[in-house]
Structure 1
Amino acid sequence: MPALVAAAGERASVRFLEFFASAIRNPHTRRAYVRAAADFLAWCAGAGVPSITAVQPLHVAGWIELQTQALSAPTVKQRLAAIRHLFDWLVTGQIVPHNPATSVRGPAHSARAGATPVLDPAEARQLLDSIDVTTPLGLRDRALIALMVFSFARVGAALAMRVEDVYVQDRRLWVRLREKGGKAHAMPCHHALEAYLHAYLEETGIAGEPKGPLFRTIARGTGLLSTTPLPQANAYAMVRRRALAAGIGTKIGNHTFRATGITAYLSNGGTLENAAAMANHASTRTTQLYDRRRDNVSLDEIERIRL
């Protein structure tokens, strides 16, 4: 418990914990908000603020100013949002009389394209073909990467899947994803993804375990799949390792495959509206951040500078 919260009494402490336990359901958001709140309250304590009830707009503004010197604008805006939401919760719980973060403005930021590195189709194919699929590890890695490319799945949704979330409907293989906000999302598999998932399920022997995790760790010393779900950090390490082995210089991550799949779909005549539906985006504006077709246009234009 932060010292500034404890100094405000038991009611404040309980209300503070309830914010993270009750008001925020997404675990990633909860972790980010906890870090932001802990950092802010520690800074306030260092600035001589005696209690969370004594925090003023000037304190929030001073902390945000320091954040902008070390962090990107989107990160600072997220941290400010965390403090605003926390104090809104404390205001409604009658712990503090007003929200000191309401009047504080964050840094200006406008994004017309995402910053996620994207692979071109040849590189994505190179990566998939470079994986040795004679082992359960290779079968798992190929299936996971292909799922993120061909279904636009977020890595969190992919790793949360159970075996039963791969199923047959209308004589096609489908996947069921649980995306952000608890939204259930199902879509048919691309023929390549269908082949990779079939191979993974059948050759590893997990097809008969419908309630088990779809993507699993490898049991130590056996080379076989365990019953433990693959953590997101392990998936990222796997992607980096596979990219290096395939000779891909781009510093890719898990989110690269979502952007790669969306860009490839749009480049081959797909519509933005359908891409948004497939990616489970509430707005096409979000989908446009993943559309990197303009990158190729820019490169072509740069090459016109001939000396």
Structure 2
Amino acid sequence: MDVLVLYKDYLMIEMNYSEDTVISYLNDVEQFEQFLKTEGLADSLLGATRERLARNYISYLDNQNFTKTSIARKISALKNFYSYLQSKNLIDINIFQFVKTPKVPKRLPQVIQDEEINYLFESIDRTKPLGVRNYLILDLLYSCGLRASELIGLTISDVYISNEQLKIHGKGGKDRYVPLHQNLVEQLKFYLTYTRATLLAKGTNTNEKKLFINYKGTPLTERGLRVILNDIITKSGETFKIHPHMLRHAFATTLLNHGADLRVVQELLGHAHLKSTQIYTHVSSEVVKEKYSKTHPRMIQHEKNK
């Protein structure tokens, strides 16, 4: 029995994790397996049944000069893996359950400014089918705060034009609905009616259900999405690097900057915990200070007395 194959299926199908996330999880587990075998501590992942093996591995990582961030990620991945094995009754204990994760200082997410976003939209040539698709992709990432895997996973049946919303299949198999602004609704109508059919004609499967199609007429991949975004950057004349999560950050920060409730933003992002959303409050703190100085009675009085 190959437990890694079972675990991979679990991550991809049940948890709906992105391809990159799945690869990262599996790499961390495989590295631990290699450590066990190299050190002669166990002959397999299932054979690691003593909690001190987990502590030995953390000491090994520390001695190899791995950063706290890397060690924290590996511990998280291995806790998740052994928790999965335990749920399937393949092991009795999770040897990583009580391992403490090193404290990692939180980094504020990198956010694209409004002016830079506008340059990206303006650089796209919408007279061509790929341009129409790329403009729609950029707008969905920025206006709906989608993860890359969520955008790639969209199917035709997830688009509710009459209700002006999308059904998003998020992490952990949790679905949510996000609203569409009117411009997005019109873009989706045009794309579904004309553009998508043109792109599909280049492939062999005209019954494909995935919403976004690549230039070959097959479903768009996460790797293809990164290529598209890099191409948009190049044509816009900007010099920064962009990835889908930056647009998700920009979505959240823009909403908070304009007064959206934190719990509303949490729901739209599909965060299981409010703590994950709260990091964006730090990003928009300058806007909060500005609004405070303009609206609090004592601040207004102070300005008048100057």
Q: Into which bin does the TM-score normalised by the smaller protein fall?
A: 0.7 to 0.9
Contact 2:196 2:213 (8 Å CA) reproduced: no
Match of 2:36 in 1: 44
Matching residue of 1:86:
81
Q: Counterpart of 1:214 in 2: which secondary structure?
A: coil
Map residues 291-302 of structure 1 onto 2, 5 A cutoff. 291=281, 292-294=283-285
Q: Cα deviation per residue 1:67-110 (whole Å; 9 max; x = unaligned)?
A: 45565534422321332343445567776664433443221125
More helix by share: 2
Alignment match of 2:272 (pick from 272, 279, 282): 282
Question: Equivalent residue of 1:176, what SS?
Answer: strand
Could you tell me how far apart the structure 1 residues matched to 2:236 and 2:52 are? 51
Check 1:72–1:154 CA distance in 2 against 1; reply closer, same or farther (3 A cut): farther
Aligned mate of 1:33, from 20, 25, 38: 25
C-alpha deviations, 1:17-36, integer Å up to 9, x for none?
54554587224454333211
Q: 1:240 aligns with which of 207, 230, 249?
A: 230
Task: Show CA shifts across 1:159-218 (max 9, x none).
Answer: 111223223225xx3222211122222233123323332333333153998862211110
The number of equivalent residue pairs is: 275
Question: Which of 220, 244, 266 does residue 254 from structure 1 map onto?
Answer: 244
Quick check: 1:104 aligned with 2:108?
no
Q: Would you say the 8 A contact 2:257–2:284 is kept in 1?
A: yes
Larger mean Cα displacement after TM superposition, 138-147 or 263-272 = 263-272
Determine if contact 1:15/1:93 at 8 Å carries over to the other structure. no
Query: What is residue 176 of structure 1 aligned with on the other side?
Result: 167
The secondary structure found in structure 2 opposite 1:86 is helix
CA contact (8 A) 1:49 1:55 kept: no
The yes-or-no answer on 1:189 pairing with 2:186 is: no
In the alignment, structure 1 residue 149 sits paired with structure 2 residue 125: no
- Measure how far apart 1:262 and its partner are: 1.3
The residue aligned with 1:77 is 72
Which of 256, 267, 273 aligns to 2:257? It is 267
TM-score by length of 2: 0.76
Seen in structure 2, the aligned counterparts of structure 1 residues 168 and 36 have a Cα distance that, compared at 3 Å, is same
Q: Percent identity?
A: 21
Cα shift at 1:64: 2.5
> Cα RMSD (Å) of the superposition?
3.2
Of 127, 132, 151 in structure 2, the residue corresponding to residue 158 of structure 1 is: 151
SS at the partner of 2:161? strand
Residue by residue, what CA displacement relative to the aligned partner does 1:132-182 show, whole Å, maximum 9, x if unpaired? Answer: 111111111110110011111112111111223223225xx3222211122
- Is 1:123 matched with 2:116? yes
Secondary structure of the structure 2 residue equivalent to 1:229: coil
Code of the aligned partner of 2:54: V
Call closer, same or farther: CA 1:281–1:132 in 2, change over 3 Å.
Answer: same
Contact 2:11 2:22 survives alignment (8 Å): no
Q: Distance in 2 between matches of 1:168 and 1:31?
A: 35
